[in-house]
Structure 1
Amino acid sequence: MTKLTDTYTLSNDLQIPKIGFGTWQIPANLAQKAVLNALDLGYRHIDTALVYQNEQEVGAGIQESNIKREEIFITSKLPAETKSYDQTLQDFETTMANLQLDYLDLYLIHAPWPWAQKGANYDQQNREVWQAMEEIYASRRVKAIGVSNFNVYDLQNILDVAQIKPMVNQIRYFIGNTENEITEFSQAYGMLVEAYSPLATDELLNNQQLQQLAKKYGVSLAQLAIQFCVQNGVLPLPKAIQRAHAANNAQLDFVIETTDMEQLNNFQKTI
């Protein structure tokens, strides 16, 4: 059983809710209401990014909720295109202004390369950016720092020079795509793995084998996929524009049996 109030503990002892509410691909004009719905349903972990172009609306939803700031865990991300010390500091200020916050709970480097140059080598630039991330962390305006979409090579590049190790690695992770090498390496170095697209951008929902397993537990396939992440010690970030979907995703009052977890962990790549 998993509750929205359950937490993991990061390497610096910060508590982070086990279930996040993702806002990737939620249009700006719908983001405020979606965040407000999520908070009203009991979510206390909101994930956004500067590149999502909805930070202002996410911030407005948080403000409108009237929930105490310290009761909400808020994550944002440095654009993947930002690969210099000075620009990192500038983009962080933009995010803080957009969200209208005094501090962030978690700040991540969105990717090790600009999106248009996926796979390109930005080793030295990433080290420079990490230096800026460490400075932001030292300012206490961010409670934890980490990365996203970093593979083992990119993680090692940061670890070789880091004064403060990344506390989180947020990756694309779902049944059939558990990125075992990255996950195991991240966890070995004390990083919590977060799963964006835990439903494979809804493409898992049509898998008949998974539908049958969900039926066994009397749950939706989405609930099965989210609970799978948690039972692997990974933090899922499901998104939902509709309130009913957000509510359904949060109902995780079941446990997947060991034999079924083994089956799911050996599931063939689904997409």
Structure 2
Amino acid sequence: MTSTPSVPTITLNNGATIPQLGFGVFQIPPAETKDATLTALEVGYRHIDTAEMYGNEEGVGQAVRESGIPRDQIFVTSKLNNGFHAPEDALAAFDTTLATLDIDYLDLFLIHWPLPAVGDYVDTWKAMEQMYAGGKVRSIGVSNFQQHHLNRLRAETTVPPAVNQIEVHPYLTQEPLRAYGAEHGIATEAWSPIAQGGVLGDPVIERIARRVERTPAQVVLRWHAQRGDIVFPKSVTRSRVEENFALFDFELTDEDVTDISTLNKDERTGPNPDEFNYIPS
């Protein structure tokens, strides 16, 4: 099997490339993760997004190794567990992630949450810079960082984040934060891209889906792609995995993209990063 050229890639600020469409494994039970990931790789995905806190890194690694696809053709992301923000803990956690995945390197490693009341995420980022310098992670980034968090990193650290993975969907379009990222060379990755299904019954999205003869989910994922974001829908159902992959043989009009964007309500499905300080027990 070879990489599928139908998925565009985005060049990150350090020259690395990342497939714009990936497969997310959030909330997939560990026992099901290997098979779900193998299915995604069979369908054509070459970008897998996991995290220490998901508890399923092992299954992702098994799928990558058993897929028969060369390692350099699969982009693997994981994220730092909230309990390991102290610099020495972060460095150890990264080594644990590599061991759990049982792969030689990561393509991308992220700080999962800024945790503003827990510790200094700037110190955590400096540990991430050490990981990057060590060569076992190709790119480093952040997740759920707001503009003021990113401003501190710009002022106090050396390596800019390659990506910021944030909640984005038609009811939370995140225009100012996305624009900030674009201005400073930080790619936006969109989690909860269909608002956990909450946007799929919207009349605007349904109308566009009827016209282009696609599902509402495909329309929303295509909206993400045309806005230039990296997106990784999750499903354990093969037919849905295939459906989510079929995004690059149709286009929305500029009017469609605008109509969907104007649905914004600044409505989150997940926590506010300025208030979220959860540490797993």
TM range (shorter): over 0.9
State the TM-score, normalized to the length of structure 1.
0.93
1:269 matched residue in structure 2: 265
1:55 matched residue in structure 2: 57
2:271 matched residue in structure 1: none
Matches of 2:108 and 2:81 in 1, distance apart?
14
Does the 8 Å CA contact 1:3/1:250 hold for their aligned counterparts?
no
Matches of 1:64 and 1:215 in 2, distance apart?
39
Q: Does 1:225 align with 2:220?
A: yes
Q: Does 1:214 align with 2:216?
A: no
Identity between Structure 1 and Structure 2 (%): 37
1:75 matched residue in structure 2: 77
Residues 249-268 of structure 1 aligned to structure 2 (within 5 Å): 249-252=244-247, 253-268=249-264
> One-letter code of the match for 1:26?
I
> One-letter code of the match for 1:22?
G
2:165 matched residue in structure 1: 170
Residues 1-271 of structure 1 aligned to structure 2 (within 5 Å): 4-113=6-115, 120-121=116-117, 125-252=120-247, 253-269=249-265
> One-letter code of the match for 2:27?
Q
> One-letter code of the match for 1:200?
A
Give unmatched runs, 5+ long, in structure 2: 268-281
Matches of 1:169 and 1:270 in 2, distance apart?
18
Does the 8 Å CA contact 1:4/1:19 hold for their aligned counterparts?
no
Q: CA deviation at 1:215?
A: 1.1
> CA offsets, 1:22-52, max 9 Å, x none?
1111111111111000000000000000000
Q: CA deviation at 1:82?
A: 2.2
Matches of 1:256 and 1:164 in 2, distance apart?
36
Does the 8 Å CA contact 1:7/1:15 hold for their aligned counterparts?
yes
> CA offsets, 1:118-159, max 9 Å, x none?
xx445x621111111001001110000000000011111111
Q: CA deviation at 1:206?
A: 2.5
> One-letter code of the match for 1:30?
E
Matches of 2:152 and 2:190 in 1, distance apart?
22
Does the 8 Å CA contact 1:204/1:270 hold for their aligned counterparts?
no
The alignment partner of 2:199 has SS state of helix
Matches of 1:3 and 1:229 in 2, distance apart?
19
> CA offsets, 1:221-267, max 9 Å, x none?
11111111111111111011111100000111111101111111111
Matches of 1:96 and 1:262 in 2, distance apart?
41
> One-letter code of the match for 1:150?
F
Matches of 1:80 and 1:52 in 2, distance apart?
11
Does the 8 Å CA contact 1:77/1:109 hold for their aligned counterparts?
yes
How many residues matched?
263
Matches of 1:27 and 1:4 in 2, distance apart?
29
After TM superposition, the runs of 4+ consecutive aligned structure 1 residues lying more than 4 A away are none
Q: CA deviation at 1:3?
A: 6.1
The alignment partner of 1:204 has SS state of coil
> CA offsets, 1:182-221, max 9 Å, x none?
1111111100000011111122223233112111111111
Does the 8 Å CA contact 1:199/1:225 hold for their aligned counterparts?
yes
Cα root mean square deviation, aligned: 1.5
Q: CA deviation at 1:269?
A: 2.4
Does the 8 Å CA contact 1:4/1:18 hold for their aligned counterparts?
no
Does the 8 Å CA contact 2:204/2:260 hold for their aligned counterparts?
no
Q: CA deviation at 1:4?
A: 4.9
The alignment partner of 1:58 has SS state of helix
> One-letter code of the match for 1:169?
N
Give unmatched runs, 5+ long, in structure 1: 114-119
The alignment partner of 2:82 has SS state of coil
The alignment partner of 1:81 has SS state of helix
Does the 8 Å CA contact 1:50/1:76 hold for their aligned counterparts?
yes
